[in-house]
Chain A
Amino acid sequence: MRFRDEYRAPAAAQGYARAIAKAATRPWTLMEVCGGQTHTIVRYGIDQLLPVGIELVHGPGCPVCVTPVEYVDKAIEIASRPGATLCSFGDMLRVPGRGGDLLGAKSRGADVRIVYSPLDALAVARAEPAREVVFFAVGFETTAPANAMAAWQARRQGLANFSLLVSHVLVPPAMRAILDAPANRIEGFLAAGHVCTIMGTREYEPIAARYRVPIVVTGFEPLDILEGVYMCVRQLEDGRAAVENQYVRSVRRAGNLRAQALMGEVFRVIPRRWRGIGDIADSGLGLAEAYADLDAERRFGAVRTVGEAAGECISGLVLQGARKPPECPAFGTRCTPERPLGVTMVSSEGACAAYYRYRGAPRPAETESAGA
């Protein structure tokens, strides 16, 4: 496929690996923000291709992983009501709530439907006017314009039986929270190319300036990641902290203005709790006042924030880049994609799922401290 195969060329990847090794005179710790980038890194062994000392820390950019547990519970509650239908992207279905997941609710008779696009949920509402159809609107800035379009069209078409359960999150406040953490060790970012395709790169300039960190907007193919790492290392070695764009074929500095305009009409910025991370000011989107009647929380009751139960799962630390999946004692043994303890093992964009899928379960000798 065009714009894919050529970005996986091994000789070019080796070329970038050599260039990074030549450019780096000391260790540097970088974070790739997006879960899609994490998967590319783990799948193609890019971390193993880099010189010793250049560490890639996996970031919080897994939308399913950071959706608060109480929203999962609310989605299950709505789906279980007679006359109500919950439409969701497929990767939310196995995310554990406190009382099971959406897939389990579906098997017990709840009307849960997997959709590819939010417009598919609108089509369900149009086709079945007697049912209350709720779309579970989660995701980062990449998904927000599409979900905003569903709300905008519902309003325009006068669909009275359609609403949205909104748990949208924004990337820049999460990057600030990571940099503000006392134990932070991130010295440069590979920013999320698809988020920036929508939002552009300007909102990252104050972060680069204030925290003195290079931010390189980066794509998702192996060569994109390697070029992003090279650009970031060059900045660090030169003592620069600028926003640069590796993913030029997709990202324009101003972003997609039409998408931003619709997001601005339908949503407003609100505080948001991130699963495993905690509350982050101004880090989410909720429906704007003019669209508040489409808010599923108005129709089915507000979501109440709860504390997270302490357990064995360290997905919060994984999402903040403080731990790597194989460092978890449960990884690959008591926690697998079939029997996940936490979200990062469930989602296709979760770091634990990436390590398990591409690197496999740890060998017993690595997990048993008392082993031979």
Chain B
Amino acid sequence: MRVGRVDFGGVVKEINLAFVPEARIGDHVLVHVGFAITVIDEAEAARVFEHLREIGELAEDGAAP
């Protein structure tokens, strides 16, 4: 059973990789009860901000409300 070391912001745990055979060293994974259940899609991770830009609401970025 494939196991990987996953860094949770400084705390490293051994995590079961049976459900993510595509995981490679350096990938970000979502972990639940000791199992990685998906590899985070880094290209998609910025989409929430692109969407905001598209709908024209990121213009005031940085301005305190």
Asked if B37 and A194 sit within 8 Å, CB to CB, the answer is yes
Interface contact A145-B55, CB-CB below 8 Å: no
Interface string of B28-44 (1 = CB under 8 A from A): 10101111011011101
Partner of B60 from the list A7, A11, A143, A256 (CB cut-off 8 Å) is: A11
Query: Which residues of B have CB within 8 Å of A120?
Result: 34
B34 to chain A: closest CB distance in Å? 3
1/0 contact trace for B45-60 toward A, CB 8 Å?
Answer: 1011101100101101
Is there an interface contact between A249 and B44, defined as CB atoms closer than 8 Å? yes
Q: In whole angstroms, how far apart are the Cα atoms of A250 and B61 in the complex?
A: 26
Contact B37 A227 (CB under 8 A): no
Q: Is A19 an interface residue (CB 8 A)?
A: yes
Report yes or no: B32 in contact with A15, Cβ–Cβ below 8 A: no
Given contacts A11-B63, A256-B38, contact A227 B16 (CB under 8 A): no
A3 close to B40 (CB less than 8 A): yes
Whether A11 and B61, one on each chain, are in contact in the complex, defined by CB atoms closer than 8 angstroms, is: yes
Chain B residues, CB < 8 A from A248: 41, 44, 47
CB of B18 within 8 A of CB of A89, answer no
Task: Give B62 Cβ to nearest chain A Cβ, in Å.
Answer: 6
- Please name all residues of chain B whose beta carbon is closer than 8 Å to the beta carbon of A1 when the two chains form the complex: 8-9
Query: Which residues of the other chain, B, contact A2 by a CB distance below 8 angstroms?
Result: 28
Q: Is A249 in contact with B41, judged by CB distance below 8 angstroms? A: yes
* Interface 9-residue window, one of A111-119, A276-284, A310-318, A322-330: A111-119
Across the interface, which residues of A come within 8 angstroms of B58, CB to CB?
11-12, 15
Interface of A is mostly: helix
Q: Which of A231-258 contact B (CB under 8 A)?
A: 246, 248-252, 256, 258
- Residues in chain B near residue A262, CB distance under 8 A: 19
Inter-chain CA distance A10–B62, complex, in Å, is 8
Task: Given the known inter-chain contacts A12-B61, A145-B19, A256-B19, please indicate yes or no for A249 contacting B40, CB distance below 8 A.
Answer: yes
Known contacts: A12-B61, A143-B33, A258-B19. The answer to whether A250 contacts B48 by CB under 8 A is no
Q: Which residue of A lies closest to B47 (CB)?
A: A248
In the complex, A149 has a CB within 8 A of chain B: yes
Residue of A14, A142, A146, A258 near B21 (CB, 8 A) is A258
The answer on a CB contact under 8 Å between A143 and B52 is: no
Q: A249 to B18, alpha carbons, bound, how many Å? A: 20
Query: Is there contact, CB below 8 Å, between A116 and B18?
Result: no
Are the C-beta atoms of B65 and A19 separated by less than 8 Å?
Answer: no
**Residues in A whose Cβ lies below 8 Å from that of B55:** 19, 230
The answer to whether B19 touches A116, judged by C-beta atoms less than 8 angstroms apart, is: no
Q: Is the CB of A15 within 8 A of B45?
A: no
Asked if B52 contacts A12 (CB within 8 A), the reply is: yes
Chain B residues with Cβ below 8 Å from A223 are 48
Contact with B along A1-44 (1 / 0, CB 8 A): 11100110011101110110000000000000000000000000
List residues of chain B with CB under 8 Å of any chain A CB.
1, 8-9, 16, 18-21, 28, 30, 32-35, 37-38, 40-42, 44-45, 47-49, 51-52, 55, 57-58, 60-65
Q: A10-B65, A194-B37, A249-B45 are in contact. List 4 more A-B contacts (CB 8 A).
A: A119-B16, A142-B32, A197-B30, A256-B19
3 smallest CB-CB distances across A and B, nearest first, come from A117-B34, A15-B57, A248-B44
